[in-house]
Amino acid sequence: MLKQMFNRALLCTALLFVFTPLQAAANPLIDMVTQQLGVSPTQASGGLGALLSTAQKGMSGGDFAALGDVVPDMSSLLAAAPTQVSGDADTLGSMASGLLGDSEAASNAVALNQAFSSLGLDSGMVGQYSKILLDFVESEGGQALMESLKSALI
């Protein structure tokens, strides 16, 4: 009787494993952001995606491809980035560039602030996310790649 119960338990466990969809392997970068900043996985993915989307505009194709080799599941992070509110970031970026001087940096800052706001995050979180991302890229991809990313974000 004990053997039958054990066999049934083993069968149930096997069936549970077979019919339970396998979740994607945990993304260590998302885990770092959620643990260090106390945000949800959706907020972590969206914020990282917004940073990577901004970086894509300012990095060379080769450097961005190298970044894709270092950042786990970068395509999913890019897809998780909030979409920009049409025209608002460009208008605000243009106004900010008049005050700050560098129109690309001002537009990037405004777009990132809007993206983070749409995720329910304070604009001050942009710097905290950036630090985690830059530290991760430096540890996994080296100083040169981190510097390329940093210059694309600034």
DSSP string, 54-77: HHHHHS-HHHHHHHHHHSTTHHHH
Radius of gyration of the chain (CA): 21
CA distance 112 to 115: 5
pTM of the model: 0.74
Distance of CA 79 to the CA centre of its chain: 9
Say if CB 149 and CB 143 are below 8 A apart: no
137: CB partners within 8 A, 6+ apart: 67, 70, 71, 145, 146, 149
Tell me, what amino acid is at 38? Answer: G
What are the pLDDT digits (tens) for 112-141?
999 999 999 998 999 999 999 999 999 999
Furthest-apart CA atoms within the chain: distance in Å: 82
Q: What six digits make up the tokens of 135?
A: 């530290």
CA distance 15 to 70: 36
23: CB partners within 8 A, 6+ apart: none
Distance of CA 113 to the CA centre of its chain: 14
What are the pLDDT digits (tens) for 76-104?
999 999 986 434 444 444 444 444 455 77
Please state, in angstroms and as integers, the Cα–Cα distance from residue 1 to each residue in 4, 12, 29, 129, following that order.
5, 17, 48, 57
What are the pLDDT digits (tens) for 29-74?
999 999 999 999 999 999 999 999 999 999 999 999 999 999 999 9
